[in-house]
Structure 1
Amino acid sequence: MSGLSETERIGALKILGTMKKSDLLSLCETVTNKMIAVENVTEATETILSFTKNAEEFLKRKKVHRDLIFKYLAQEGVVMPPDSEKHQLVRRTLELWSSVNAVGGRSLQAEVDEPRLSESTDTKDVEGFDPLVLGQQFCQWFFQLLNSQNPSLGQPAQDWGPQHFWPDVKLCLLSRAGTEQKEEFVGAEVVSLRFLAMTKEERLLFNPNLEPRGLKALTSSHGLVRVAVAGTIHRGAACLGIFEQIFGLIRSPLENNSWKIKVVHLKILGQDALGGTEVAAPALSYNSSELQLLCS
């Protein structure tokens, strides 16, 4: 019987769907020790999933090639250096799957609908509410959605648009790449289009660091949740630099109490501004007090 969780099973199914038929049938023979004969790709896929003991065993199989895992992570919005070795890709995939398992494998919509805020909208009064879990789930959702707009990934663009922002959302953008540039945008349509330009036109890919050093989340007594994340920015095979992004999130009672973005602060540092600093897994430079001030 399969030892895969629902999240791992879905991920493995996506990877198997990109394999050559010959490799898929060969993997099926390996997994079952040639004890079960299959007649088609569908039967082979189900048999592999059923007889796989755990996710790590599946990912380390020889027929699960490095390139397959690399492309899978890219489709899930996780950008890895093009020269990453297979063991690094395996580890990152396991981290991705375990982080989704930690919140029950639910989508962002399910996560944000439960638990609901009290009438006072004080997040501190909600039993079991963990802003860090919400922050991690939100960042996975947001950057996967944003990166899907980049044509270089070769995947269908997901449902990006102003509907994910409050009408009066504000974006503060600071970039340091040779020269320093500050921009400010107000309004859901304008902010949505500015983000879209980064990925669709400028072809940037955002790779967030969801480890403890790269992610913070705070709540306020008025229902605002601040989520801060650091990460690297890529274009094709090149790492352009790092980013730090802070979101202010508030529930929308008119839209099933789902979270929407109220304010965004995005700081981008190019390689020139970093002076050769290691950027593989950047950490946040903001402390809790600065986060509270920026999203107040």
Structure 2
Amino acid sequence: MSRLSEKERVGFKKMFISMTTDDLKSLSDTVTNKMIFVENLTEATEAILSFSKNAEELLRRKKVQRDLIFRYLATEGVAMPPSSEKHQLVKRTLQLWSSGEADETELQQPAASDSMEVKPVVDFDPLVLGQQFCQWFFQLLNSQNPSLGQKPQEWGPQHFWPDVKLRLLSRTTSEQKEEIPGAELVSLRLLALTSSERLLFNPNLEPRGLKAVASSHGLVLVSVAGTIHRDVACLGVFEQVFGLIRSPQDENSWKIRFINLSIRGQDALGGAEAAAPALSYSSSELKQLCS
């Protein structure tokens, strides 16, 4: 019988949410040798988890497809290059479950306002803050995508300064520019990208894809590049610059002061490789934005 840990069981349940009923029942037949008849998704899931020998064996099953694991890791805030092969995704998932980064309480999604309270420390490292912020922000934003089948985390204007400004440049078949002021409108426009347009943002948190600098008067700039997906299709790449300032009214948590978001569709890439895109901003250019 199964030797899955509780963390592994919870992880698989999250992963299986994205599977079709037919695929899940087929996986149940394979795992149980068709000895267990299941009538619905819940029974199929329990049969699979009960009769699987271990997590690695189940992850390597043909029906547990590469893209399924990739999307699961993205929702857990683990950024992997879109070009990653299945065995690499399996290895990273097993590391996640054994490290304590993921646990059974994550089924009850934590309030996003709690997870962004990065307390100020003396001589803090802007890059560490940038990594923490990007993991938090993109997990929160991606959770609004209904195609992931998960409970959306708490999104809203509370994460932005009231006078925040969003500059959005989109290059697909044509070029479109938008400039949106105010926390309410910025919140709604970003929400539409994932909730209505069903986009999934996969940031590249490796050194080539993430930079962060801090000014002497409290502004931290975080620049990140990544890929944009809809379901299993890669639509293009994005580059995003955040301006962050602490809010003394909210226990010194960080709030977003401005966002510059540039999106390039596959047509605009001109054949360039979309996997694990690198930033076009240099650290010196970011510092100029601070001034």
When normalised by structure 2's length, the TM-score is 0.72
The verdict on how the C-alpha distance between 1:11 and 1:147 changes in structure 2, with shifts beyond 3 A counting, is farther
Cross-structure match for 1:13: 10
For residues 172-251 of structure 1, the aligned pairs below 5 Å read: 172-251=167-246
Q: How many residues align?
A: 260
Amino acid at match of 2:131: Q
Q: Residues 179 and 210 of structure 1: is their aligned pair in 2 closer, same or farther, counting only changes over 3 Å?
A: same
Instruction: Provide closer, same or farther for how the CA distance between residues 254 and 230 of structure 1 changes in structure 2, counting only shifts above 3 A.
Output: same
Q: Secondary structure at the residue paired with 2:278?
A: coil
Map Cα deviations across residues 68-114 of structure 1 (whole Å, 9 max, x no partner).
Answer: 6345225335687999642132245368679996xxxxx88777655
Deviations 1:140-161 (A, max 9, x none): 1111111111122222211111
Instruction: Check the 8 A contact 1:112/1:134 in 2, yes or no.
Output: no
Contact 2:74–2:202 (CA<8 Å) still a contact in 1? no
Q: 2:287 corresponds to which residue?
A: 292
- Runs of 5+ consecutive residues of structure 2 not aligned to the other structure: 17-23, 33-45, 102-109
Cα offset, 1:248, TM superposition: 0.8
Write the letter of the residue equivalent to 1:86. K
* RMSD, aligned α-carbons: 4.1
> Residues 81 and 293 from structure 1, CA distance in 2 versus in 1: closer, same or farther, beyond 3 angstroms?
closer
Distance 1:63 1:269 in 2: 33
Could you say if the C-alpha distance between residues 113 and 159 of structure 1 is closer, same or farther in structure 2, counting changes exceeding 3 Å? closer
Give, in whole Å, the separation in 2 of the partners of 1:134 and 1:159. 21
When residues 147 and 111 of structure 1 are mapped into structure 2, their CA distance, relative to the original with a 3 A threshold, is closer
2:270 pairs with 1:275 = yes
Residues in 1 aligned to 2:239 and 2:98: alpha-carbon distance in whole angstroms: 24
Query: Partners of 1:212 and 1:94 in 2: how far apart?
Result: 23
Distance 1:111 1:199, change over 3 A: closer
The residue number in structure 2 matching 1:89 is: 89
TM-score normalised by length of structure 1: 0.71
- For 2:141, give the aligned amino acid: L
Alignment of 1:142-153 (within 5 A): 142-153=137-148
The structural deviation recorded for 1:211 is 0.8
2:20 alignment partner in structure 1 = none
